[in-house]
Amino acid sequence: MDEITIISWNVNGIRAVSKKGFLEWMNNKPGDIVAIQETKAHKEQLSDEILNINDYESFFSSAIRKGYSGVATYTDIKPKKVLKGFDIKKFDDEGRIIQLNFDKFILLNIYYPNGGMSDERLQYKMDFYDGFLDYANKLKNEGNNLVICGDFNTAHKEIDLARPKQNEDVSGFLPIEREWMDKFIENGYVDTFREFNKDGENYTWWSYRTKARNRNVGWRLDYFFVNEEFKDDVIDSYILSDVLGSDHCPIAIKLKI
């Protein structure tokens, strides 16, 4: 049986994280595919050292606005096709989506919006969620297996953040956001981490401002989902909480292919 490892990480700025051990970490080949979010860079702003790491081929989707949003996927498995966006301009302009089609599955690397800045941004986030779900369902209904990863910017259940009661009115744990996560799962998608780990105190983001990581006062905002039909091909799903460099840590999934 062959297996591959895919990693997802919100790096909170690829140029910043590259000065904090990211390049060394990548040169140690942490996974066959590494999907990163919040690159905050256009490809032409990046050095060859960042663009061409180890044996990886890199693909970037950047926001029109410089220094904002953006996703990238590094892979040493040749994709059959690479697509950017959902064909919805207001989402695609923010460089939040990159899709790589492989033989056995489609990988969707997505940086979902943060809804905390204003009511307008919360509505944008919810519209993005719905646009994404329509797009994912279309791919799934065409017979594709999906691996969906990224920073969803929502903690789904009380177990997924350290202080649920204090955050009931905070974007990232609002009822409307959590209900959408329920709807997403009801549409036939599996939170792979919870297939292997039902324990609390497993988080992927900690506030820099309060030095929350030292106390593990965190949120689980980063996920790997697969469609229900592909669930049995997932060997493991886990959090790499010891990897530093961002306010998020990487997460990983192992697949048999």
Does the annotation count 48 as an active-site position? no
Q: Are 129 and 115 in contact (CB under 8 A)?
A: no
CATH code for the domain in which residue 156 is found: 3.60.10.10
More confident residue, 117 or 196: 196
Q: What is the pLDDT of residue 1?
A: 66
User: Quick one: pLDDT band at residue 257, thresholds 50, 70, 90?
Assistant: confident
pLDDT tens figures, 171-199: 999 999 999 999 999 999 999 999 999 99
pLDDT tens for 215-238 read 999 999 999 999 999 999 999 999
Residue 87 has pLDDT above 90, yes or no: yes
The conformational region for residue 84 under phi > 0 = left, psi -120 to 50 = alpha, else beta, is beta
Q: Looking at residues 27-33, what average pLDDT do you find?
A: 97
Q: Give the total number of structural domains in the chain.
A: 1
The rounded distance, in Å, linking the Cα atoms of 15 and 253 is 25
The pTM assigned to this predicted structure is 0.97
- Domain coverage including residue 242: 3-256
Rounded CA separation 8/97 (Å)? 13
Identify the band that residue 61 occupies on the pLDDT scale cut at 50, 70 and 90.
very high
Q: Which of 103, 130, 134, 151 is catalytic?
A: 151
